[in-house]
Structure 1
Amino acid sequence: MEEKFSPTEACANFVSSVSFEDIPAESIDLLKRDLLDWIGCAIAGAADKSSEPIKKVTAELGGKPQAGAVGLLKNDVARSAMCNAYYGHIFEMDDVDRESISHPATVNFPVALAMAEYLKKSGKDALLATCCGFEVMLRIGASVTPGHYKVFHTTSTSGVFGSAMVAGKLLGLNATKLAWALGNAGTSSAGLWQFLQDGAMSKFLHVGLAASNGILVALLAKEGFSGSNHILEGSQGFFVGYGRQEPDLSLFKDFGEKWRSATVSFKPYPCCRHTHSAIDAAEEIREKLKGRKPAKVKLYTYGTANQVAGKRNPKTGRQAKFSTAYCVASTILRGKPSNNDFTDEKVTEREVAELENLIEVIVDPEITAMVPKNWPCRLEVVADDGENLVAQVWSPTGDPEKTLNWDGVVSKFHIMTDGIIDTKSQEALIEKCKNFENLQNVGEIFEL
């Protein structure tokens, strides 16, 4: 009888056997751009008031000075990774993968940097480990999307598998121990969307715990602590408990052939990625209006966007980041959104609130059918003089079809970090990311 295919085993075997030389140049280049992009997000996040709770708790609990964190003294690897992951997700500016609907950078890079510094590994080692985390995390997330995503925050639930593989690769674990780490990562997998209904801060904690728990299970595996060998496909495993749909096992059969780390998207706007195609469309409509007022606005979008970013009449900046209607109204009136457009004061300005209320949001079956391969939308606007205006966006800015090159990522990095760190530090970080595989002391990132 043919042995049943094990996606858990496939993940462990890939991570144990892959070398830096196996990774295609386009993946390495994207990972380095993504590293700079994430560092900019983390620096901005660490300077925001939302970072204060984790800073205070981390300082109170303390830990051995093993690895650096943005804006903090060195702490133990798990807490440093937790803080950095948390910071990177605060402004909703970190990367996104379309098929898994997840943000791999803010879970995997904090683990790679913390463990590489602690273990005295090179930038090349950290990039290899990060690639392993991306490849595993994104396959697990995509295999259960979109059903899983209706209840679970995939960045957290699949992210802990990725972070465990990052830490495990840097620890040099064999396939058996990597499978144990996956088993205990699955047991630690968590992250529910309920917080969105209250505009709560849980999203930051989701990624922080995914990063720190990945380190914990990898370190335990190194010491002989066993875990399920079939955590994904087992009768009481991840797919059964969390999947909410039949998993796509074919995704685990193309390791080394398709590199998902080469197809991640960048986020140009500081809000939920599901709002971005609508923002691009709104910017096009703004140009077509040429100063006229919109009299009617219809936004055709997909189901997941309405589920996650369907907030109406937001009262706070946090709520507005998950309101496609607000983002469209703000863009039509003010242009492309920046952090300044998500203050509580800006969100409740009368003119933007009136336009937001005018927008009719329609979940379009044809657009929904294109997700998660694409995240499109269409805006239909009637101007106050009666002219009909239409903007159709198939792929938002930052997707692989419209990716941010080095110049784009560097520009965004400056936007995120201007006024927080000095120009000399900015330029040094840019150069270190561009040449990250040659960096011998990964801790230099946090010294800057």
Structure 2
Amino acid sequence: MSVSKSHELAQFVSQTSFDALPSDVVHETKRILLDSIGCALAAGGQLKGRAGIEYAQLLGGMDSTATIFGSSQRSSILGAAFANGELINALDFDAVLPPGHVSPYVLPGALAVAEAEGSSGKQLITAIAIAHELANRFGKAMDYIRDVRRGEVTMPPVLGYTSTVFGAAAAIASLWGASEETTRHALNIAGAISPVNSHRSWLEHTPVATIKYTMAGPLVHSALTAAYMASLGHRGDPNLLDDSEFGYPRFIGTSRWQPEALTAELGQTWSFQRENSFKHYPHCRALHGLLDLLGETVESHSIDPSEIDEIRAWGEGHVERASWLTNEISDPVDAQFSIAHGLSVGAHRIPPSKAWQDEDVVFDAKVAQLMGKVVYARHPDWVEAMVTDPAARPSRIEIDARGETFVAELRYPKGTNTDDSLGTADDDLFEKFRVNAMGVLDSEQIEHCIATAMSLETVEDVSTVLKEFGRKRG
């Protein structure tokens, strides 16, 4: 009798300890945690952040078990987890990892449970690493927004990030030290109650939904529900991941299902730490190479936005969709994905931070005027690069100004992990955290949080650490 995929995954979750983690996995896990919390700290003024915090109060009542990042309010495990998922993703400043965004979905439940349980730093690192590895593997097994088949770019009718629910549920089971059987049921229940993959619909319609591609809070709750129900005795479908006709692949809507990606060398080979990329701009990652080029060009040549006659940009082909091509900006979420708006803000040399989504910037008349001078097309090397080097995002920019044309090109945006580069250096990541935490934590807290997060394996009780990521003292 063959062993089910969920059995193999559950075995990996229940048998993986901190001592089994490679050093680069531990390091990247701590970096992801710090960066994600920083993104949450900066997002309290955004709709997703505000609404998440208010909803947490409805969910939690008087319960103050867990921290809501950047807020003086606390909530229950369910309340804090919901709010923190929304906060981490609100600015679209959080890291990207196939299948897309992962951290806003897999971190919040684990953090709330770890705080409530008084888990050790080693336990939390292990749970976060497991969550990201499983989420990345599911991303490789299913339809993906950057898929190329037979040399052609494909955009499946159904895709999204909801398969991260498996990693999210696994992290909670890991923190509890759940048995292999309970973990297996938690994973199978998680798949059965996963939110739908609505990303493709979101891409095609404007104005874009402010809940974005997959709302974090409900997915976080699905994972928590799955883990709790398994612990309370519910049984999941044992064939969920093994039946392509009636199981998870069919009802989640993926046309590509490669289950071998889920378990190949599982526990021996880790990949998320090499494929994770930190964002240097609070804007869709597809535009980051162009933003790198634009920023360097206008800075080095002291080009004022008023001097620009036209910006011609070549980048990723899959962004030729309504949500990216829109020039109609009615909300900061529209601005997070609009190619023209992002390049216009970049040309104004506003340092990347939550300021990019302040209403004064989003609706600035000068930004709007320059948007009308942006022309976008698919880079001619884009498909070939995706086939041969998936980390590559070839980008080219031409700026007409002062009677001249300024030209720049690159292959990898900042934050990309390659054989020759770590991607984002620790010092750069720490500075991003400082910028995000400014005005929410005091300077002493900020430095303490950086130091503590990066030595998390020495912490006996992470609740003391997580409480530090609330509001300023006093």
1:358-407 deviation per Cα after TM superposition (whole angstroms, max 9, x unaligned): 22211246304434822514224253455443322222111213522221
1:207 to 208, 216, 226: 216
Cα 1:410–1:396 shift into 2, 3 Å: same
Partner of 1:280: 292
1:42-62 deviation per Cα after TM superposition (whole angstroms, max 9, x unaligned): 122235454232322322343
Compute the displacement of 1:76 (Å). 2.6
1:46 to 30, 44, 47: 44
State the one-letter code of the partner of 1:86.
E
Q: Is the 8 A contact 1:295 1:381 kept in 2?
A: no
Give the Cα separation in 1 of the matches to 2:3 and 2:292.
42
What secondary structure does 1:400 align onto? coil
1:128-153 deviation per Cα after TM superposition (whole angstroms, max 9, x unaligned): 11111111111112221325985667
2:432 to 395, 409, 412: 412
- Segment drifting more, 178-187 vs 195-204: 195-204
Q: Is the 8 A contact 2:294 2:397 kept in 1?
A: no
Correspondence 1:12-411 to 2 at 5 A? 12-48=10-46, 50-63=48-61, 64-70=63-69, 71-97=71-97, 99-101=98-100, 103-146=101-144, 154-155=160-161, 157-190=162-195, 191-193=197-199, 194-195=201-202, 197-203=206-212, 206-234=215-243, 235-252=245-262, 253-263=264-274, 264-287=276-299, 289-291=301-303, 293-307=307-321, 309-334=324-349, 336-364=351-379, 366-371=381-386, 373-381=390-398, 383-384=400-401, 387-401=404-418, 403-411=423-431
Q: Is the 8 A contact 1:159 1:207 kept in 2?
A: no
Higher helix share: 1
1:424 to 425, 441, 444: 444
Q: Is the 8 A contact 2:280 2:352 kept in 1?
A: no
Q: Is the 8 A contact 1:279 1:336 kept in 2?
A: no
1:305-352 deviation per Cα after TM superposition (whole angstroms, max 9, x unaligned): 333533324343321111122212222232554332333332343443
Cα 1:141–1:91 shift into 2, 3 Å: same
Cα 1:312–1:369 shift into 2, 3 Å: farther
State the one-letter code of the partner of 1:202.
I
Q: Is the 8 A contact 2:57 2:79 kept in 1?
A: no
Cα 1:393–1:249 shift into 2, 3 Å: farther
Cα 1:45–1:349 shift into 2, 3 Å: closer
1:231-273 deviation per Cα after TM superposition (whole angstroms, max 9, x unaligned): 2342222222335332233422132233123121111111122
Give the Cα separation in 1 of the matches to 2:166 and 2:95.
18
Cα 1:69–1:336 shift into 2, 3 Å: closer
Compute the displacement of 1:78 (Å). 2.2
What secondary structure does 1:379 align onto? strand
- Segment drifting more, 284-293 vs 260-269: 284-293
Q: Is the 8 A contact 1:269 1:276 kept in 2?
A: yes
Give the Cα separation in 2 of the matches to 1:335 and 1:416.
15
Length-normalised TM-score, structure 1: 0.90
Compute the displacement of 1:227 (Å). 0.8
State the one-letter code of the partner of 2:259.
L
Q: Is the 8 A contact 1:12 1:178 kept in 2?
A: yes
What secondary structure does 2:297 align onto? helix
What secondary structure does 1:154 align onto? coil
Give the Cα separation in 2 of the matches to 1:315 and 1:206.
19
Unaligned 5+ segments in structure 2 are: 148-154, 469-474
Cα 1:380–1:427 shift into 2, 3 Å: closer
State the one-letter code of the partner of 1:220.
M
Q: Is the 8 A contact 2:156 2:255 kept in 1?
A: no
Structure 1 ranges of 4+ moved more than 6 A: none
Are positions 1:442 and 2:442 aligned together? no
Q: Is the 8 A contact 1:144 1:244 kept in 2?
A: yes
- Segment drifting more, 260-269 vs 51-60: 51-60
Compute the displacement of 1:166 (Å). 0.4
State the one-letter code of the partner of 2:293.
A
State the one-letter code of the partner of 2:430.
V
Give the Cα separation in 2 of the matches to 1:4 and 1:356.
57
Give the Cα separation in 1 of the matches to 2:157 and 2:355.
30
What secondary structure does 2:424 align onto? coil
Give the Cα separation in 2 of the matches to 1:389 and 1:435.
45
Give the Cα separation in 2 of the matches to 1:320 and 1:306.
16
Give the Cα separation in 2 of the matches to 1:380 and 1:271.
17
What secondary structure does 1:374 align onto? coil
Unaligned 5+ segments in structure 1 are: none
Aligned length: 443
1:270-301 deviation per Cα after TM superposition (whole angstroms, max 9, x unaligned): 11222212211212332465437444433222
Q: Percentage identity across aligned positions?
A: 24
Give the Cα separation in 1 of the matches to 2:269 and 2:320.
30
- Segment drifting more, 73-82 vs 133-142: 73-82
